[in-house]
Amino acid sequence: MATTTDDPVFGHHMTFAEADGRLTVDLVLDPGGWIPKHLHPKTVEYWTLREGEVTIIVAGEDRRPAPGEVVMVKAGTPHAVRNDATRPATLRVVVNPAGAMRRCLEDGAAFNRDGRLTPRGLPKSWSALRDAATYVVRYADTTVLLMPPPFPPPIVQRTLLPLLARR
């Protein structure tokens, strides 16, 4: 069954469907919406632009796919997405294997809807920082966040954030 969730901090709306061990995410990225730099240690993603304009940054290289074009992101490859256009963009993302990706995205969006992050996605309070640390630790095998400083690099995420995380 497909379900939809919204992420107001990063300006996107996701509809999920799972089949055959893969997750399909139909994504609407609002004007100015973005997905911060991150990587997935164990999954491959296939991004297909359906409508609009986006920039997909893969391993530091800007790609501006045409509608219907597929951009593959291999496991372990840093990537980000942004919509600098004046109208929404729609994409389909296939994640293989699905793993915990759906829960990771749903939990992240729910956290972002709570209003405890800045527009750049950084925690506004000590409590929000602890909850963010808990999220990062919980999904470390699914997603490694690589947002710009002051977000900690992966080595710090693995060593220090577990100390902050709620148990």
Q: What distance in Å separates the CA atoms of residue 2 and residue 38, rounded to the nearest whole number?
A: 25
Q: pLDDT band at residue 17, thresholds of 50, 70 and 90?
A: very high
63 plus 125 within the same structural domain:
no
Angle, helix 101-113 to helix 126-138, in steps of 10 degrees: 170
34 plus 70 within the same structural domain:
yes
pLDDT the model gives residue 148: 58
Q: What distance in Å separates the CA atoms of residue 130 and residue 136, rounded to the nearest whole number?
A: 10
Domain containing 131 equals: 102-164
Task: Rank 22-26, 107-111, 120-124 by mean pLDDT and report only the highest.
Answer: 22-26
What contacts 34, CB < 8 A, 6 or more positions away? Answer: 10, 11, 80, 81, 82, 83
Q: pLDDT band at residue 150, thresholds of 50, 70 and 90?
A: low
| pLDDT for 102 beyond 70 | yes
Q: What distance in Å separates the CA atoms of residue 9 and residue 141, rounded to the nearest whole number?
A: 23
**pTM for the complete prediction?**
0.88
Residue 131 or 161, more confident: 131
Boundary residue ending a domain (47, 82, 99): 99
pLDDT the model gives residue 120: 78
Residue 118 or 6, more confident: 6
Count of structural domains, the chain: 2
Q: pLDDT band at residue 151, thresholds of 50, 70 and 90?
A: low
pLDDT the model gives residue 123: 86
